[in-house]
Structure 1
Amino acid sequence: MKSLRWRLLATLGIAIFVLWSSMAAWMFTSIRRELISVLDDRLIASTRMVAGIVQQFSHEQIQSASVPGKHVDLTSVIARDGVACEVSLVRAEVELLPLARTENSPGFDSLQGTGFGRIDKGGKLWRTYVLEENGIRIATADRIDVREGLVQSFAYAMVLPFAMALLGLLAITWWACTKGLEPLRRLQHTLAKRPPQDGTPIEDGRDIEELAPMVNSLNALLLRMNATIEHERRWTADAAHELRTPLTAIKTHVQVTQLLVQRELKLMPGQSCLAAEQIQQSLEYTMSGITHMHDTLEQLLMLARVESGSALDTRKLSGIAIVGAFERACEQSQQHAAEQGHTAQLQAQVSPGAPQDWQSWQVALPAPLLVCAVSNLVDNALRHHQGQEPVTAHLELQEQAGQVCISIRDHGPGMSQAECEQALRRFWRKNPSSQGSGLGLTIVQRIVDSVQGHLTVQPAPGGGLKVHLHLPVVLCQSAECAA
């Protein structure tokens, strides 16, 4: 994933590094040249200083310097500034008589002429300067490796502050980028916290010149999306309402026809009775189809209300009202299953706990939606249940996790893991000829999403399905709990 912060930091870091490195290279070259010039001037100054001091001695003293026991001590004179130095008496053009030299002197016998030069003694290179005045030759020298050591020390002295300054500048740049991108982080946090049904315009970032165009574009996109979604929801609701009325009329006529056929069955014996029984069976199939379509329309209406947010209100379900909604949903599902001829039994359980434990918590969901979610899950379990074992519905308050968990377990034919993942799709049914609209789990999923909950469907050990409904809960204030 690309990062604006890292991109900006890398761009500034590379630009600063290249700029400073170029300036440092130019400064190093210039200062190295100046430093070498200063060291050469030092050799010249040392040579002239020694020449000036030697000139203070008389000619006889200088001539006697080479006589043992009578020489003038010139070592203390030429060794004052630390450079290698040698004083020689010029007797002929090619004959030199050394008068004095320092201990670190490399020897200047191979030098020819005056001025700057270079000699190699013992594998060490020396920078030399020679001056001849009044028959006296004075030679001074510096080791070139010592000079380079001074240059390197200066380079290190430049590099360390440069590196520290670069790191400090990158840290300041990182901090400045973080502060500069703070409005983007706030905008992201605002968008992450917005509920799905909230279509109000975004206000964060509209006062920042760089963010205002993006926020305005987001608001325009939200308006277009809300208009499109609202149009589809209205169409779904209107279509369901328009179809429900004729279906109700058809259902009424079929019921009347069934009553008439039943009466004819009692009055007409023989072959006519067989035809009436066939008509009765056909009417029962018709009624089953009408009931299925009617249930599908009711589920569509509920789904439209849930997705549009019209079924939501600002009230929260607090305290033991959560338990009451759970028990009411189980009772409705049990009654509905009995009306449809299902014999499966339901065992509803609530995790142990004192009433005051439940009273301290609340879920951001009104009672009708919680009843709708639980009843849809229990209806599915009772419809597909098989065997003598009862369907279990368990409500548990998990305080440490901060959630309410509702578990539904049946012993029906069950589904594979792949089928469980598809079960949340609209109108999906494992067996197309079975009862149900294929919208129950979709409605539950939409209700759970409205409060940032979680719904899981998974195969149960030993057969059947196990559905877990997790709803986040928060501690409520005393006044809210009382309400």
Structure 2
Amino acid sequence: MTAPASKPRSLRLRLVLALVAASCLLWGSVGWWRLQRLEHELNAMLDERLVASAHMVASIAQQLQPHGRDGLPVPAGLEPTLQTVIGRDGVACEVSLVRSEVDMLPIARTAGAPEHASLAATGFGQATKGGKLWRTYVLQEGGLRVATADRLDLRAQMARETWIALAWPFALALAGVALLSWWITTHGLRPLQRLRRELQQQPTGSTDALTAGSDTQELGPVVDALNQLLTRTHALMEHERRWSADAAHELRTPLTAIKTHVQVAQLALARGGQDGTCHQALEQTQQGIAQMQHMMEQLLELARLEAEGTPERERGLTCGAVLLQTLEQAIAQSRAHAGQACAEVALHCRPQADDAAWEAACVALPAPLLAAALTNVLNNALEHHHGDAPVTVALQLAAPTAQTPFGQLAITVRDQGPGMSQQDCERALQRFWRKSGQSPGSGLGLTITDRIMHSGGGSLQLAPAQPGLQVQLRLPLVAPIEGH
């Protein structure tokens, strides 16, 4: 069973989530640091309030209690006045008179204030009343001792309320960032939507270039790459269309001939088949089948070469003595194909085959492909050769140049046939081209050879000779693979 296709991921959603996450991280870090500072400042401010309240109460108490230093009773009406002054803003207070080093007389206290808070050491401290912690401050001025206090849980509640008061705007701002990011990304991705619509509306086989998104810096290279891909695809489709049409046209002739010969053989059999016509028709049918089989093999080889996408060095190299062995194998195959009446083949090698230069020579073609290219050229030479002079094959190693830093291998094949003009030499590399309609062969041999040469970085050159035709195969030499 095939696995279900995964749901495509939304680029817009990923961008929005990334922006929201980045905002949360940055704002959250800054907000956390700022709230910590704010809480510290709040506690410092409340401590300053305790100090200020203590000084204020001490000043008022000294004005209202002129005999406090002698330990006299507190005049009536003092305590209510003190409660009214210091019992506001959530600050509790206790006022005591110092009667001795160990004896203190509380003279006023606000409702709910921790008892005996003024007995603690001067400065800041903590006291407990009713299970609640209080922050206290004790001030002593002469014989008067003042303690101010506020509850720590109320301080914590104020900090929480501050956090909540700041969290709501942060949440609303984050929601606004999400909505704004969604709108911005939607607007920013519109060139992609236009490009998608233009691709959907592009007619099949159209060569018109895509324009949507080409004016966007980030999308422009993608549009250019798509246009190049569409151009290559169109060229490939056109190439396949021409290839199919040419192949169908070339195959129609041998098929028609085979059909005709079969009909002749049938008529001869119907008449008794005693005059040899049937035998002759069957032989011609067999020749037509062989010709069509050869053409199909050539077509398949050409299709394989044109569809080959493997880098040359990954296909394999042909080096050293194997180069000469491949050439000798191609000569043997061509002579066997030509039959008993074929011409001789003279092989010339410069430098000599036993020279050390050949051991370091490597071409970026595997031996079977090189043999196929040489065989096609030799087949044509032996087929069109006339006279007693041999077909000559010359191998030569050229010196390195800027274009070929390791040198070059040149293979020249020369026959003594009727040859071709310069215009014919230029057209001869086109598939299915033949000098005349009665010429044997499929018109694919030189096309295949040319494709093999290009796959190895080389070239195939045809030139008129007096007499005959000269075909030269050139391949750049490459550095041998280590351990080859």
* Separation of aligned partners in 1, 2:175 and 2:195: 30
SS at match of 1:230: helix
Report the alpha carbon displacement of residue 146 of structure 1 after superposing the two structures with TM: 0.7
1:59 paired residue among 53, 66, 71: 66
* Separation of aligned partners in 2, 1:174 and 1:234: 50
Determine if the alignment matches structure 1 residue 146 to structure 2 residue 154.
yes
In structure 1, the partner of 2:248 is 240
Amino acid in structure 2 at the alignment position of 1:23: V
The answer to whether the 8 Å contact 1:65/1:72 transfers is: no
The answer to whether the 8 Å contact 1:61/1:72 transfers is: no
Report the alpha carbon displacement of residue 36 of structure 1 after superposing the two structures with TM: 0.9
The answer to whether the 8 Å contact 2:93/2:110 transfers is: yes
* Separation of aligned partners in 1, 2:21 and 2:222: 29
1:42–1:71 CA distance, 2 compared to 1 (3 A):
closer
In structure 1, the partner of 2:46 is 39
Report the alpha carbon displacement of residue 81 of structure 1 after superposing the two structures with TM: 3.6
Amino acid in structure 2 at the alignment position of 1:147: R
Deviations 1:371-425 (A, max 9, x none): xxxxxxxxxxxxxxxxxxxxxxxxxxxxxxxxxxxxxxxxxxxxxxxxxxxxxxx
* Separation of aligned partners in 2, 1:38 and 1:85: 18
The answer to whether the 8 Å contact 2:64/2:78 transfers is: no
In structure 2, the partner of 1:206 is 214
Amino acid in structure 1 at the alignment position of 2:154: V
Which blocks of at least 5 consecutive residues in structure 1 are unaligned?
Answer: 298-483
* Separation of aligned partners in 2, 1:72 and 1:168: 56
Deviations 1:458-480 (A, max 9, x none): xxxxxxxxxxxxxxxxxxxxxxx
Deviations 1:99-130 (A, max 9, x none): 11111101135743322211223322111111
Amino acid in structure 1 at the alignment position of 2:98: V
In structure 2, the partner of 1:193 is 201
1:94–1:241 CA distance, 2 compared to 1 (3 A):
same
Determine if the alignment matches structure 1 residue 48 to structure 2 residue 55.
yes
Deviations 1:264-323 (A, max 9, x none): 26xx9xxx8xx99x99xx99xx9xx99xx9xxx9xxxxxxxxxxxxxxxxxxxxxxxxxx
Deviations 1:425-463 (A, max 9, x none): xxxxxxxxxxxxxxxxxxxxxxxxxxxxxxxxxxxxxxx
Report the alpha carbon displacement of residue 174 of structure 1 after superposing the two structures with TM: 2.0
Report the alpha carbon displacement of residue 60 of structure 1 after superposing the two structures with TM: 4.5
In structure 2, the partner of 1:128 is 136
Which blocks of at least 5 consecutive residues in structure 2 are unaligned?
Answer: 1-7, 297-484
* Separation of aligned partners in 1, 2:95 and 2:73: 11
1:168–1:72 CA distance, 2 compared to 1 (3 A):
closer
In structure 2, the partner of 1:25 is 32
SS at match of 1:204: coil
Amino acid in structure 2 at the alignment position of 1:187: L
In structure 2, the partner of 1:102 is 110
* Separation of aligned partners in 1, 2:72 and 2:84: 17
* Separation of aligned partners in 2, 1:58 and 1:85: 16
Amino acid in structure 2 at the alignment position of 1:104: G
1:71–1:240 CA distance, 2 compared to 1 (3 A):
closer
The answer to whether the 8 Å contact 1:64/1:71 transfers is: no
In structure 2, the partner of 1:400 is none
The answer to whether the 8 Å contact 2:68/2:74 transfers is: no
Amino acid in structure 1 at the alignment position of 2:39: R
1:16–1:256 CA distance, 2 compared to 1 (3 A):
same
Report the alpha carbon displacement of residue 137 of structure 1 after superposing the two structures with TM: 1.4
Deviations 1:57-77 (A, max 9, x none): 24248966547x676533323
In structure 2, the partner of 1:429 is none
In structure 2, the partner of 1:356 is none
SS at match of 1:16: helix
In structure 1, the partner of 2:180 is 172
SS at match of 1:222: helix
Report the alpha carbon displacement of residue 38 of structure 1 after superposing the two structures with TM: 1.0
SS at match of 1:56: helix
1:147–1:212 CA distance, 2 compared to 1 (3 A):
same
In structure 2, the partner of 1:93 is 101
* Separation of aligned partners in 1, 2:23 and 2:150: 38
Amino acid in structure 2 at the alignment position of 1:27: R
In structure 1, the partner of 2:21 is 14
The answer to whether the 8 Å contact 2:122/2:139 transfers is: yes
* Separation of aligned partners in 2, 1:78 and 1:17: 44
Determine if the alignment matches structure 1 residue 114 to structure 2 residue 122.
yes
2:233 paired residue among 225, 243, 253: 225
* Separation of aligned partners in 2, 1:8 and 1:166: 15
* Separation of aligned partners in 1, 2:124 and 2:240: 96
In structure 2, the partner of 1:375 is none
* Separation of aligned partners in 2, 1:200 and 1:61: 105
Q: TM-score, normalised by structure 1?
A: 0.51
The answer to whether the 8 Å contact 2:94/2:146 transfers is: yes
Deviations 1:67-105 (A, max 9, x none): 7x6765333233244311111111111211111111110
The answer to whether the 8 Å contact 2:117/2:147 transfers is: no
1:184–1:71 CA distance, 2 compared to 1 (3 A):
closer
* Separation of aligned partners in 2, 1:61 and 1:135: 7
The answer to whether the 8 Å contact 1:89/1:135 transfers is: yes
2:169 paired residue among 161, 165, 170: 161
Amino acid in structure 2 at the alignment position of 1:90: V
In structure 1, the partner of 2:92 is 84
SS at match of 1:131: strand
SS at match of 1:120: strand
In structure 2, the partner of 1:184 is 192
Give the number of aligned pairs: 278
- List structure 1 runs of 4+ shifted beyond 4 angstroms: 60-67, 69-72
Report the alpha carbon displacement of residue 39 of structure 1 after superposing the two structures with TM: 0.6
1:71–1:50 CA distance, 2 compared to 1 (3 A):
closer
* Separation of aligned partners in 2, 1:33 and 1:71: 37
SS at match of 2:212: coil
Amino acid in structure 2 at the alignment position of 1:54: A
Report the alpha carbon displacement of residue 160 of structure 1 after superposing the two structures with TM: 2.0
Q: TM-score, normalised by structure 2?
A: 0.51
The answer to whether the 8 Å contact 2:95/2:109 transfers is: yes
